[in-house]
């Protein structure tokens, strides 16, 4: 869940799309109109879009710093990441662990797993599914920790020139990891049983090493945009073509992932989705693309609120629907859906003005003092 770009409006559109996809997907776990099942069934790919965006934006900033200054200021990088991620996240943990009525389900993973950003490993979503969506934030935090250190190691070596090859290797490794895990842990498990879904989520869907396609794709594009003038020229001259290519490939990806937990989808689907969103991202940053040229207040605001909404939306939807049930109001119609989504936006605004903005001021002061 990355910071909003002031210049690249296309990325605002993608981030807004990502949070809407996630909201539609997770809303299926609550009482909902029937059409949500069909519209939201591929909403899980919104997380993959977030991964591609994070990989591109974070690596792009680091590559630019390397190109201009010849080094990476780790203190500055980690201070910025800390104040962007941790205050809102810790506040959400406080809500979940202090106020049981905020919990959308019964049981939470241990607090230490949330605090150490390791909740995505060994996550039993069937029995400990409360705040389970923090799994993706764990992956992002691990990425923020490792990427700058990795770049510092390879920067003085010839390996840095082959960053594109390294990222393609990472993407390939992730596919091989899913194949090995499938053969070892999933094969033979009854697909109709709860054990299948528990093991599939725990071993295939949540672990970092099986979900590197999105981040790897983003880093790959970020590297090529910074260091390959030919690649950048192709992107800038073919924005709309890239967009339609990405949409076509995304449609193929959805077809492959029609059964999300099938072997074909598990082995190839994640990678296809990541590559599809990567091509769409290339369109979003292309100077010839309609995505790049169009500015929207709505998508800009959704993009700015996306992280806060991502953290809080399940708890907010749960509380709204519980309140509706208490007053014997309908909870599965379109009106209740709109009220729930509006409440999520209000929750995001609460986070922005009472948590994110004050801590942003603190961050700015600390950065100025460290100069």
The tens digit of pLDDT for each residue in 253-311 reads: 999 999 999 999 999 999 999 999 999 999 999 999 999 999 999 999 999 999 999 99
Average pLDDT of the residues in 236-254: 98
Residue extents of the structural domains in the chain: 9-370
Looking at residue 3, its pLDDT comes to: 45
User: Is 104 in contact with 314 (CB distance < 8 Å)?
Assistant: yes
Measured distance CA(266)–CA(260) in Å, rounded: 7
Residue-wise DSSP of 163-180:
HHHHHHHHHHHHHHHHHH
**DSSP reduced 3-state for 259:** coil
**DSSP reduced 3-state for 15:** helix
Residue 279, both tokens: 């091509």
> In which region does residue 131 sit, left (phi positive, over 0), alpha (psi from -120 to 50) or beta (all else)?
left
Of 86, 85, 107, residue with least CA distance to 96:
107
Give the position of tokens 């040229």: 293
Tell whether the model's pLDDT for residue 2 goes beyond 50. no
Of 18, 116, 7, residue with least CA distance to 61:
7
Looking at residue 21, its pLDDT comes to: 98
pLDDT per residue over 181-198, tens digit each?
A: 999 999 888 888 888 999
Tell whether the model's pLDDT for residue 44 goes beyond 90. yes
Burial class (CB in 10 A: 0-12, 13-18, 19+), 232: middle
**pTM over cut 0.75:** yes
Place 335 in a pLDDT band, splitting at 50, 70 and 90.
very high
**DSSP reduced 3-state for 284:** helix
pLDDT per residue over 227-239, tens digit each?
A: 999 999 999 999 9
Tell whether the model's pLDDT for residue 133 goes beyond 50. yes
């Amino acid at each position: 869940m990355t910071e909003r770009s002031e210049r690249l409006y296309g990325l605002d559109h993608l981030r807004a799309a990502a949070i809407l996809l996630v909201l539609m997907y997770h809303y299926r776990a609550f009482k909902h109109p029937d059409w949500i099942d069909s519209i939201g069934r591929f909403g899980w790919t919104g997380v993959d879009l977030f991964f591609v965006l994070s990989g591109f934006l974070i690596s792009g900033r680091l590559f630019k710093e390397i190109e201009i200054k010849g080094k990476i200021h780790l203190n500055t990088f980690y201070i910025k990441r800390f104040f962007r991620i941790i205050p809102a996240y810790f506040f959400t943990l406080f809500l979940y662990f202090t106020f049981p009525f905020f919990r959308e389900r019964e049981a939470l993973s241990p607090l230490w797993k949330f605090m150490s950003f390791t909740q995505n490993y060994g996550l039993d979503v069937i029995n400990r599914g409360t705040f389970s969506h923090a799994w993706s934030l764990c992956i992002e935090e691990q990425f923020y920790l490792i990427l700058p250190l990795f770049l510092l190691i390879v920067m003085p070596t010839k390996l840095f020139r082959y960053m594109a090859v390294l990222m393609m290797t990472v993407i390939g490794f992730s596919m091989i990891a899913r194949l090995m895990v499938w053969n070892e842990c999933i094969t033979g498990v009854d697909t109709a049983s709860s054990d299948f879904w528990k093991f599939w989520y725990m071993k295939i869907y949540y672990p970092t090493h099986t979900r590197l396609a999105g981040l790897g794709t983003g880093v790959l594009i970020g590297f090529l945009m910074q260091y390959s003038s030919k690649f950048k020229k192709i992107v800038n001259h073919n924005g709309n073509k890239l967009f339609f290519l990405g949409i076509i490939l995304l449609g193929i990806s959805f077809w492959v992932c029609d059964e999300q937990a099938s072997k074909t989808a598990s082995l190839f689907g994640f990678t296809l989705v990541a590559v599809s969103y990567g091509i769409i991202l290339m369109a979003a940053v292309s100077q010839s693309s309609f995505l790049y040229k169009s500015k929207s207040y709505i998508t800009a605001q959704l993009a700015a609120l996306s992280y806060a909404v991502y953290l809080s939306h399940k708890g907010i939807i749960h509380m709204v629907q519980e309140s509706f049930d208490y007053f014997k109001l309908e909870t599965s119609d379109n009106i209740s859906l709109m009220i729930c989504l509006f409440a999520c936006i209000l929750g995001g605004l609460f986070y922005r003005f009472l948590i994110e903005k004050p801590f942003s001021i603190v961050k700015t002061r600390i950065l100025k003092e460290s100069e």
